Amino acid sequence: MSGPPRPPNIFAGPYLDRTAHPREDTEWLDALRGQRGALLVPVWQLRNLINPSGGTPTARLLEWPQAAPHVSRSEDLILLGEFRNRLCFAFEITSDAPPSLAVDAEFHDLRGIGGALPGDEAGLLAYARAMVYWRARHRFCGACGAPTASGRSGHLLKCTQCGTPQFPRIDPAIIVLVSGGEGTEERALLGRQAIWPPGRYSTIAGFVEPGESLEDAVIREVLEETGIEATAPAYHSSQPWPFPASLMLGFTARARSTAIACRDGELEDARWFSREDVAMGKILLPPPQSISCRLIQDWLHGSPGSGDGQKHGKPAIPRP
């Protein structure tokens, strides 16, 4: 018998109906914009509006009267979809200083606070952030340099001169838990970047290159960053990661070699760690909201998809 459904990674999951079909229906959308029933998600300098709510953070979503003074044009609104049975739009605030939109609410970086939010709210804010980031970096046509104009309810930017369309883009990146050895001697390959907090180690990751499959990217990135030959890449799960515009594609793989050599300068250090090393807190783990932390947790606990298929005890995993 299969176990209970695995919960989605943070920022993922069916948190809203994207209602893609009415994006072209400008009359319908014009009638709905400004309705008191609509919710608006402000984004200022890629930060989201958060309400601490007495210590438990939640997303602060605005009614139209609160947001209207900061929306100069209706075409600046980005239709996200239907969230909690209400139509939801995102918009960018371009002021130098953060506006005061709601009592006790402040703009925060979602990377740090996303894991503490309710799952559906974290996903919604990540979606809004990603759309604002894309639009802000495609204000001009890449073909002729002319300004672009918004269409399809914020999901299209079209050149005002040559007509070249631009659609939202994401950068696919693989992230992989490589394991080696057998039984209790099995170890995980983890590395660290110099800019990370002291003692933090994580799984191996890198962007997929043009003309490359995901499996090929797994093998190449592991070899480039650590000198380890990886084999048998197997898909684990994925996670939207709008910091700034990635889709993390999680894998597990087995090591064909053991000698580590950090080749390309991406990592300051890479090592093999046993389950006991991780369970005893000998390293600082990635943030709990990241897919890298989930890959390590699943490997530590011998969960399905961890790459070893063995049953292990479940020592308490230390929190970063």
What does DSSP assign to residue 166? E
Mean pLDDT, all residues of the chain: 89
Q: What average pLDDT does this structure show over 15-23? A: 82
Contacts of 168 (CB under 8 A, 6+ apart): 130, 131, 134, 155
Residue 26 has what pLDDT?
A: 67
Contacts of 250 (CB under 8 A, 6+ apart): 9, 174, 175, 176, 177, 235, 236, 237, 238, 239, 291, 294, 295
* CATH for the 21-137 domain, from 3.90.79, 3.40.30, 2.30.30, 1.10.3470: 3.90.79
Do the beta carbons of residue 80 and residue 155 sit within 8 Å?
no
Alpha helix (H) ranges present in the chain? 26-32, 64-67, 110-113, 119-136, 214-226, 275-279, 291-301
In terms of average pLDDT, the best of 28-37, 54-63, 234-243 is 234-243
pLDDT of 87-124, one tens digit each? Answer: 899 999 999 999 888 888 999 999 999 999 999 999 99
> Homologous superfamily of 171-301 in CATH?
Nucleoside Triphosphate Pyrophosphohydrolase (3.90.79.10)
Contacts of 34 (CB under 8 A, 6+ apart): 64, 68
Residue 16 has what pLDDT?
A: 93
Maximal CA-CA distance, the chain: 64
Global pTM exceeds 0.85: yes
Do the beta carbons of residue 204 and residue 191 sit within 8 Å?
yes
Amino acid identity for residue 82 in this structure:
E
Contacts of 144 (CB under 8 A, 6+ apart): 159, 161, 162, 164
Q: Is the pLDDT of residue 234 over 70?
A: yes
